[in-house]
């Protein structure tokens, strides 16, 4: 019985130590989430308006040489930019992104994958480690962006993708990331990066008519790469906020589970302790009765 009590005490101590870690991680993630949430909330309207402008320009079919970025061609080689996190302990966040990437490959690029013509650029170490381990064609050039998250580092990735599309290294480029909704909710999406998608024509909608100054060709040549940079940066900021939200939620659940385990262990400890006391009392009473007899 003393051995059983010691075992339960050790388990209680272990769970309490784990609970302290989960509480600390939850607080750290909550602080990081506030900053990441502010960044994506401020960025989102700007990125959305730029994306609408880009889609409308592409739909008009006028833009000079830069319209090559909107030209669809048979897909022989595809690139997926998959944005995961650098660290774990964030629930099913990374698993859901990896699952979505695999589903996109199976659904859209199964033939290209068989030929080894699907490449994955991982932003975030978790995705890179998984894809390399599972024999996907993954590149590590941009996997450490989250170590120093800024526009310049993301811009380098976007510009490399644009250049690769221009040189016909890839015929389609897609971004797979988590769109931030709130701390407990993320939406996992596959978004077309190149060729630039055209605006959807809705019945009764007025066609956008822009006045360009300087000339449209010059303006579009300058705007298109910048807007694409912004599009990828927005996806990275979304993923950053989603990661911290997922980790905060996971650590909150872990802390609650630790509380439940502690309640159960304390009940078990008290029962074992009461049983030990009862056994000792019984032995004392039995011994006293034997002496009296």
Does any domain span residue 271?
no
Are 86 and 124 in contact by the 8 Å Cβ rule? The answer is yes
CATH number at residue 123: 3.40.1380.10
Residue 100, in any domain of the structure: yes
Q: Is residue 179 part of a domain?
A: yes
pTM: 0.85
Q: Which of 36, 57, 90, 224 is catalytic?
A: 90
d(CA 130, CA 88): 12
Which secondary structure element, helix H or strand E, spans residue 211, and what is its range? none
CA dihedral 243, 246, 250, 252 (to 10 degrees): 110
What pLDDT digit, counting tens, does each position of 71-94 carry?
889 999 999 999 999 998 999 999
**DSSP 8-state class, residue 19:** H
User: Is 45 domain-assigned?
Assistant: yes
- What is the tally of structural domains in the chain? 1
* Residue 284 belongs to some domain of the structure: no
CB 47 within 8 A of CB 226: no
Task: Assess whether 90 carries a catalytic annotation.
Answer: yes
Question: pLDDT tens-digit profile of 135-176?
Answer: 999 999 999 999 999 999 999 999 999 999 999 999 999 999
Residue 220 in this model has a pLDDT that exceeds 60: yes
Cα distance between residue 12 and residue 18, in whole Å: 10
Assigned domain for 64 exists: yes
State the Cα angle at 62 between 61 and 67, rounded to 5°: 80
Would you say residue 257 lies in a domain?
no
* 276 and 5 Cβ atoms separated by less than 8 Å: yes
Q: Residue 91 is part of which domain span?
A: 20-199+216-252
β partners of residue 175: 81, 191
């Amino acid at each position: 019985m003393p051995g059983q009590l010691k075992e339960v005490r050790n388990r209680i101590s272990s769970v309490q130590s784990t609970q302290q870690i989960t509480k600390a991680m939850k607080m750290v993630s909550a602080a990081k989430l506030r900053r990441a949430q502010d960044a994506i909330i401020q960025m989102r309207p700007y990125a959305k308006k730029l994306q609408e402008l880009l889609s409308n320009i592409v739909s008009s079919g006028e833009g000079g040489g830069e319209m090559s970025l909107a030209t669809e061609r048979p897909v022989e080689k595809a690139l997926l930019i998959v944005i995961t996190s650098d660290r774990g302990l964030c629930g099913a966040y990374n698993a859901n992104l990896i699952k979505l990437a695999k589903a996109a490959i199976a659904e859209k690029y199964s033939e290209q994958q068989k030929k080894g013509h699907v490449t994955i650029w991982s932003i975030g170490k978790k995705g890179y480690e998984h894809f390399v381990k599972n024999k996907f064609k993954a590149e590590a050039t941009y996997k450490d962006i989250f170590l120093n998250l800024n526009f310049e580092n993301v811009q380098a990735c976007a510009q490399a993708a644009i250049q690769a599309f221009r040189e016909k290294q890839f015929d389609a480029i897609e971004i797979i990331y988590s769109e931030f909704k709130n701390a407990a909710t993320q939406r996992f999406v596959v978004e077309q990066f190149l060729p630039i998608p055209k605006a959807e024509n809705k019945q009764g909608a007025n066609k956008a008519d822009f006045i360009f100054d300087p000339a449209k060709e010059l303006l579009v040549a300058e705007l298109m790469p910048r807007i694409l940079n912004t599009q990828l940066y927005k996806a990275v900021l979304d993923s950053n906020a989603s990661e911290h939200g997922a980790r905060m939620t996971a650590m909150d659940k872990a802390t609650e589970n630790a509380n439940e385990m502690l309640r159960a262990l304390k009940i078990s400890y008290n029962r074992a302790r009461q049983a030990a006391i009862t056994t000792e009392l019984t032995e004392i009473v039995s011994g006293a009765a034997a002496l009296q007899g």
